[in-house]
Amino acid sequence: MSVSVAMIDVFGAQAFSGNPLAVISGAGDISTEEMLRITRWFNLSETTFLLPPTDPAADYRVRIFTLEREMPFAGHPTLGTCHAWLEAGGAQKNGGEIVQECGAGLVRIRREAGRLAFAAPALVRSGPPSTEDLAEAVRFLGIAADGVIDAAWVDNGPGWLGIRLASAELVLALKPSRSWPGRIDIGVVGPHAAGGDATFEVRAFFSDHTGAIIEDPVTGSLNASLAQWLFESGLADADYVAAQGTCLGRKGRVYASRDGEGQVWIGGETRTHVAGQLSL
């Protein structure tokens, strides 16, 4: 048995500079256990499995896996899967937005300025962290508590805790722990000086199924929830570009915007670099 597979680069400012994603099409006969095993074999931050929709309002359905678990939603898998679906001839049911079905429900996607962008889903957890949770984050990041300008839960599915530092330079200087005894999902953001090609610098750290700490190259879900936080707090008063992956030698660029109804959209470049068949 073989299925189609595509390797998509998402959020890269240029080729091979974003977050890679494997998209498996025609995955209806693949079990959940096999999906997780395939994901671990690819050893990417996420692998997605493209399926027919079960909701009549959706254009397609996707299951999103990390090396540890299935996720209800993730950002770069959303844009990368949509890119693969469109490239394979997918046509949306209405003439405007594309509708993706995933564990978090229906997600709207649109094309803007030659890029794909998804509507940021509502947060499932927000508000300030507990004293204990913030202290753990500070210890993990290896910084002083008074270095944190602000902190909030910015969880739209993966579990993100947002930490704001005073500058992009401080974000780039972080040297967090390489392993941690508990689960970690921390996103850090700090502003760049005016005049560059990015307004904010973002880094994302999470623990994998072995307890090791992974730094994600470019993270759509985190940027979506950070954008909601930054817009609502007034720190971002206009559309902006976030840089991510700098410390990994990547050049991720995430385009955050807010429409007239207050909906936040997260966009980026998507490119297919590999397409073929996967033997099972």
Residue 112, pLDDT score: 86
Q: In whole angstroms, what is the distance from residue 263 CA to residue 257 CA?
A: 8
pLDDT of residue 96: 85
The per-residue pLDDT for 169 is 98
Domains (range + CATH), the chain = 2-119+267-279 (3.10.310.10), 131-262 (3.10.310.10)
Query: Taking a C-beta distance cutoff of 8 angstroms, is the pair 77, 22 a contact?
Result: no
* Predicted confidence pLDDT, tens digits, the chain (280 residues): 899 999 999 999 999 999 999 999 999 999 999 999 999 999 999 999 999 999 999 999 999 999 889 999 999 999 999 999 999 999 998 878 999 999 989 999 999 889 999 999 999 899 999 999 999 999 999 999 999 999 999 998 889 999 999 999 999 999 999 999 999 999 999 999 999 999 999 999 998 878 899 999 999 999 999 999 999 999 999 999 999 999 999 999 999 999 999 999 999 999 999 999 999 9
Supply the pLDDT for residue 157. 83
Q: Is residue 3 a contact partner of residue 30, using CB atoms and an 8 Å limit?
A: yes
For β-strands 105-112 and 98-102, DSSP reports them as antiparallel
Instruction: Tell me the pTM.
Output: 0.95
**Secondary structure of 123-180 in the HEC alphabet?**
CCECCCCCHHHHHHHHHHHCCCHHHCCEEEECECCCCCEEEECCCHHHHHCCCCCCEC
pLDDT of residue 1: 82
Report pLDDT for 176: 97
- Quick one: pLDDT at residue 219? 96
Question: Which token pair is 78?
Answer: 């959303």
